[in-house]
Amino acid sequence: MESLTEDKLKSLELMANRLREDIIKMVSHAGSGHIAGPLDMAEIFTAFYFHILRHDPKHPNWPDRDRLVLSNGHICPVQYAALAHAGYFPVEELRTLRQLGTRLQGHPHRGILPGIETTSGPLGSGISQAEGIALAARLDGKKYQVYCMTSDGEHEEGNTWEAIQFAAKYKLGNLTVVVDRNNIQIDGFVEKIMPLEPFAEKYAAHNWNVVEIDGHNFEEIIAAAAEARAVHDQPTVIIAHTLPGKGVDFMENNYLWHSKTFKPGEAEKALDELRTLRGKIRSEHE
């Protein structure tokens, strides 16, 4: 993994902001979709696709590539934006999100869009899928890493905890789960609907290596991924504390923006705020 220089940090911050702008444009043009989760995962997806992952957009099926599985498929706008800017398909195609006949479905569909490793939609199944890939890598003698992006809300489902036990039993050190700990879900705040705390302790009790980070801090994201890669006898969970709707003031920490249709003027207001933030990022690194 390359070092994180000042210039690279600036480029990552600008890319995360660009992904947020694209998310607003995509969902606004589609007239429906999920917003808060994609916005708060912009730094995570930027860090992975532009710094952490071993991958080749020109050869998306390269056998030795790292695999990234998206369990909470409803946040796919951020993955689509990251894939497009990484070179997997034209950026212009982002405007087709949720349109009839598009490759950019409302949840990712494996086989129609390069860079998508699994089909996702039903919450709670992604860790199990990632474990199958990780176990196959071990059986085949492959060295690639498997990463699974998940939501905190889907940890309310029993299948998730069965998967957590399985990974510990088989000591899947090549598996890293990244939890978007944004504390919201479609019906409200996670801790009110079905409390998860003590969350980190539950993973630790299942014999996972646990790392907690600020999910908007590139240094912490990259350091956590490096630690996970260095642990060989345990799966690792990175609990990324994030702010839902990050980057847009009137959306931040408002669970109603989990999935919501824009009212007239709201998308442009959000874009204006992100354009201002883009200028601030550039001036801070000059």
| Contact assessment for residue 27 and residue 34, using Cβ atoms and an 8 Å cutoff | yes
CATH T-level fold of 6-284: Rossmann fold (3.40.50)
Of 218, 202, 221, whose CA–CA distance to 210 is shortest? Answer: 202
What secondary structure does DSSP assign to 2-63, as a single string? ----HHHHHHHHHHHHHHHHHHHHHHHHHT--B-HHHHHTHHHHHHIIIII----TTSTT-T
Cβ count within 10 A of residue 81: 28
CB-side exposure of 227: number of CA atoms within 13 Å?
17
Strand partners, 184: 189
* 121 pLDDT tier (thresholds 50, 70, 90): confident
The pTM score is: 0.97
pLDDT score recorded for residue 103: 98
pLDDT digits (tens, 9 = 90+) for 69-120: 999 999 999 999 999 999 999 999 999 999 999 999 999 999 999 999 999 9
- Each domain of the chain, given as residue ranges in start order, spans 6-284
* 122 pLDDT tier (thresholds 50, 70, 90): confident
pLDDT digits (tens, 9 = 90+) for 207-237: 999 999 999 999 999 999 999 999 999 999 9
Radius of gyration, alpha carbons of the chain: 18
